[in-house]
Chains A and B, each alone.
Chain A
Amino acid sequence: MTEKFKKLEVSRHLLYFLSKKGDLEEEMLEKAFQDSGIYPDGGKMASFLNRLMLGIGAIFLICGVIFFFAYNWAELHKFHKLAVIGSLVLISGLFALFQKRESYAHKISIVALCGFTGALFAQFGQIYQTGANAYDLFLGWTLMVSAWVIVSRFPALWVFYVALINTTVILYIGQVSRIMTPLPAFYLLSGVNGLLWIISEFLIKDKSLGMKSRILPRIVGLLTFIPLTLAFSFAILDIRFFYQATEMDLIVSAFAWGLAFFGSLLIYRLMIKDLFFLACSVISAMCVFCVMIFKMEFGELFTLAFLGVCILLITFFTVKFLIKTNKKWKQQSLAAE
């Protein structure tokens, strides 16, 4: 028995493998699933149910309040409306203040605080007809809740915050800047999300902040890659679509896409071990490659055959690379234990 073998932990994959290799009885497997913690114990299950009920209850309540004020009930006096929503902001804020910082109830009350703040802004705009458009509302909302999102250390709230920022940027493009061409809009979206991507990695790196989940960098990373891939593809295709790209567009989009592609390959291969971004980079490259080959107009039959073979080869070698990398990382983490 090697040293590495001694460090192996029981997993569902390994139990399945062992059941293929020998004659295991139901009781043996049942006990193994329980003892290894694959099946949660009573405490874990209670914690899950507590979170489920609190999470669903709070989300439904917040949505209900937002819908209630969106209805703009005429029979309710404007001061009453403001008082109700203001009180909810205050109550959720105070509740968050008196809860333990790491508790789930504290995090959920900050979510409520952020949700009710948006409803308060919308209500104020509705009553006093401030002339603010949807962009102003979302910008104000985003700025107002920023500090609370940071202190919350709650990945779900960060995801909501990312959605708020992206909505603000999209509304800015549509209502304020009046950008009529797609490329600058893609650059702006990818730039903002790229910045959030870097911030999210730092948040995870700093262990004192308590952000363990990799869901946030994955979402913002994807939101950076998609507009960049689209921008580069649009620039390559130029006159085929409604937008005539210039040479400068091609250079800028190629540079921006290349930075994201090579940067993520290097960073997520060598510094932060995450297969998700390696796979995403290659999928993005496959899309750009297909667009390039279509643009070259070699003839339809040749293009289809050539691309089909190329995609198969790229997939084959990438899968090989991903499996090898995954194996290497697992071995390294076992050796480091």
Chain B
Amino acid sequence: MEATKSGSRVKLKLWELLSKWQKSHPESLPYKDESFHQEVENASYSASTIVIQVFMGIGAWIAGLLFLELLDELNILNSENSRLIFGAACVSFYLLTSYFGRLKPAFESSLLTVGLIGQVYLAWAIGDIFTEELHIYIIGILIEAAILLLTFSSIQRFTSTILIFMSFLGLIHEFEIYEATHVLIGGLSFILAYFWIKEPKVIAQDKRFSSFMNPVGLGIATSIILLLMLTVNKEWHQEFIEYWWISGIFMIGSVLYVLRSMIEAYEIKKYKWLVYAAAIVMLGPTVFSPGIAAAIFILLLGFYRGHYILSGLGTLAMTVFTFMFYYNLQITLLQKSMLLMGVGLVFMVLRIGFILIYKKETKLNQFEQTINE
């Protein structure tokens, strides 16, 4: 384990990185091109913050809902076919404009509104035409997958990712193979872990993939949380989905997968098995409450990859799932308090063990600097 005082670390400048790359891989980028420098500089300024994205989404939703209400009041789209044509026209216009137009970000909210109206009308028409819910979910998945691939909007990509996985849940429900929900959750958590742990590999694979990393990655994390929300209220799911411990095991497996990557990255060979054992001791009690394990998994993955939105999502999920777990627990307040204190003490003891090992492995002054940051 290497301890460095991160605060004193000088941040890497872009020109330094480009100079290194130019020496080692002269053909990889147009290094000498002035217009390339200008493009990079512009890209650094145009990075849209989460505040702008959220604002854009809120504006588009409010406008979309107002126009949907207006269209409903006008009552001009009163047949299946008219709704289908209108919905398809709106979605096509939205996709064509975004795919070929490459409009400025300010137009994104207006286009999102058109896309939202189109998707609602398309879903409505499909619901009318196909009486079988199975078909609705399959068509829904196909449409959202097409939108996901063609749209330029991060907000739409994020929404489409969630809608696709929620439609998969609908399919599972339709086929009455309720336990497949655990496979879906397990699959998603594996994809999420792979996506971020192998981030450099994924974005090096294809030039287009980097545009999908954030919206799809965050969409998958949100989908996992939404699917596990089914565990929050027992009345919702107990009738259908059982054996939540399967999801719990998948989640603990995902945490171990992240830990494995961390052990390799930080070269913690000596204490490898101790780390796994400590993780299993800590996460073992959460096997019947996979939401808590999922929250820890997302939080850990987010910090490990330096992705603070992902970490924030994990923190939020942890607060909700922990609160709901104790709220739903069918034991007395005294037993709940004992359980809470017990888990708290386990964490404290593990922390002491962690500090002792860390102290042994690093110089004392480095330890003090690192641990107190």
Interfacial residues, chain A to chain B (CB-CB below 8 A): 1-2, 4-30, 32-33, 35-50, 52-54, 56-68, 70-71, 73, 100, 102-104, 275-276, 279, 282-283, 286, 290, 300-301, 304-305, 307-308, 311-312, 314-320, 322-323, 326-327, 330-331
Contacts and interface: CB of A to CB of B under 8 A. Distances in A.
B28 A28 contact: yes
B199 A33 contact: yes
Nearest to A59: B344
B274 interface: no
Chain A interface SS verdict (over half): helix
Contacts, number: 307
A5 B15 contact: yes
A24 B204 contact: yes
Contacts of A13: 43-44, 47
A301 B107 CA distance: 25
A300 B369 CA distance: 64
Contacts of A73: 334
A314 B106 CA distance: 11
A330 B210 CA distance: 23
Given A279-B54, A282-B55, A319 B106 contact: yes
A17 B354 CA distance: 39
Contacts of B210: 15-17, 19-20
Contacts of A9: 11-14
Contact of A275 (B21, B49, B307): B49
Contacts of A283: 55, 58
A19 B204 contact: yes
Nearest to A325: B52
Given A10-B12, A56-B347, A64 B51 contact: no
Contacts of A57: 344-348, 351
Interface string B27-60: 1111000001101110111111101101110111
A14 B14 contact: yes
Contacts of A327: 45-46
Contact of A65 (B13, B341, B350): B341
A10 B14 contact: yes
Nearest to B11: A9
A61 B370 contact: no
Interface in B290-327: 299, 303-307, 326
Sort chain B's interface into a size bin.
Answer: 35 or more
A320 to B, nearest CB: 4
A293 B114 CA distance: 23
B3 interface: yes
Given A23-B28, A37-B11, A46 B44 contact: no
A5 B42 CA distance: 10
B187 interface: no
Nearest to A4: B41
Contacts of B105: 319, 323
B55 A319 contact: yes
Given A14-B40, A304-B69, A330-B45, A21 B29 contact: yes
Contacts of B37: 1-2, 5
Contact of B4 (A29, A43, A314): A43
Contacts of A12: 306-307
A6 B44 CA distance: 12
Contacts of A62: 344
Contact of B332 (A49, A59, A71, A312): A71
Given A24-B29, A301-B74, A320-B106, A8 B44 contact: yes
Contacts of B51: 275-276, 279, 322
A261 to B, nearest CB: 16
26 contacts: A1-B37, A7-B13, A8-B15, A9-B13, A13-B44, A15-B203, A15-B210, A21-B30, A23-B28, A29-B200, A41-B2, A53-B351, A54-B348, A63-B337, A65-B337, A71-B333, A103-B371, A301-B74, A304-B67, A304-B73, A308-B66, A311-B63, A311-B66, A317-B106, A319-B108, A327-B46
